[in-house]
Every structure is written in C-alpha cells, then in structure tokens.
Copies of this chain bind each other. A is one copy, B any other.
Amino acid sequence: MIQHYPSQLLERAVEEFAKLPGVGSKTAMRLVLHLLRQDVKSVESFGQSIIRLRQEVKFCKVCHNISDTDTCDICANPRRDHSIICVVENIQDVMAIEATQQYRGTYHVLGGVISPMDGIGPSDLQIQSLIERVNAGDISEVILALSPTMEGDTTNFYIYRKLSDSGVKLSVIARGVAQNDELQYTDEVTLGRSIVNRTPFNISL
C-alpha cells in the first residue's frame, strides 16, 4: 500500500523510526503520533538525548565498556580488583553481571564473538587489546564469561590459545542447571556437565 502522508515532516519522522530494528511503518506511525501529543519540551529532550549520546559517548580505553569519560567508572575505581579481568561479549553483559553484585574485578568488552557465518573474525573484536592487557602484567586471572554457544565456545578457545603461554589463570563461568529449572526438561549436555562439574555442598547457596 502506498502511503499518502499529509505532511512531509510526519513522513520523514515515520521513515526515521521505521529504520530501527523491529519497528515497522505502522509501529513507527504510532510512536510518532504519540510524540506529537507530548509537549514540545519533552520531545526536544528526547531528540537531544539521542543526538548527545551518539556525539558524546565514549568507550573506555582500557576495557572498551561504554563510558562518559576516557576511562570507565569501573576501570577508574581503586576499590575494584584490577588483577582480575572478566571477558564479556557486550555492554549488556557487563550490566547483567554488575546487577548480581557478585563481582569486584574489572571487565573486557570484546564487542561480539567470533562468528564465521556472520563474517566476524578475531580482528573485528577487542581480543588483541585483551592480550596486551594481560601481557602488560599484574593480571592474575582472566574469567571467560561468554554465552555457552558454539560462537562463544569458539571465542573462548581462541582466547585460551592466545593466553595459554602467558601463565595467567584462565577460568570459565560455571555451566549447569539454572535456578528453578526442572531437571527432566534440562538438556543432556547441561545436565551431564552439571554432574561432572559438581561442587561441594554448601548450606549458604
């Protein structure tokens, strides 16, 4: 259906929204008409927040996490354990681990995982800078916290090969049955691994 927009301003805004992933032209229209009903100030604030984010946001020069400053809050925090690096795929993973409040070390954001199908190789990721961080010394442990997928495992293995001579302790986040999972519906690989990698019973868990 060819759309007959009564206004070019409207058409342009709808087209811009429809470029967003998962937003079709009908949803875009609904969002734009919603914005038209808001007061001018809050719509200006919305538009400016997007423009400022893109213009001003930085990526931490140490861990490549998103940041308002050259070095992110975590890398700049003297109370974090700078001898431990947790390797993650993206910014959301940093936020998810931070939300657990179980980790006091630093991070290294790869910006993706190795995926030949999508044409993503090691050189497209922040792997070289991880190796440099480790080789610079003062690192005792690197925790690989990538998703337990084929791509994640490939990336884990690639990093393992690159760091195996460095003498740094390499660990992987525990894989097993998730909280509240039903055993009978857990896949064989996960369940098998959870028995092989059983841990001492601990009343506090």
User: Which of A's residues lie within 8 Å of B, judged by CB?
Assistant: 1-10, 12-13, 16, 19-23, 27, 29-36, 38, 40, 43-57, 65-68, 72-74, 90-92, 94-95, 98-99
Contacts and interface: CB of A to CB of B under 8 A. Distances in A.
A111 to B, nearest CB: 10
Given A56-B9, A66-B10, A3 B99 contact: yes
A43 B57 CA distance: 13
B94 A13 contact: no
Minimum-distance CB pairs A-B, first 6: A47-B51, A43-B54, A47-B47, A4-B98, A13-B53, A47-B50
8 contacts: A2-B99, A6-B74, A10-B57, A12-B52, A20-B31, A22-B27, A43-B53, A44-B55
Nearest to A100: B1
Nearest to A74: B6
A9 B43 contact: no
A165 B108 CA distance: 76
A73 B33 CA distance: 19
Contacts of A65: 6
Nearest to A5: B95
A9 B68 CA distance: 7
Given A30-B21, A34-B21, A49 B3 contact: no
A3 to B, nearest CB: 6
A56 B53 CA distance: 24
A106 to B, nearest CB: 12
A34 B20 contact: yes
A22 B22 CA distance: 12
Contacts of A44: 51, 54-55
B30 A66 contact: no
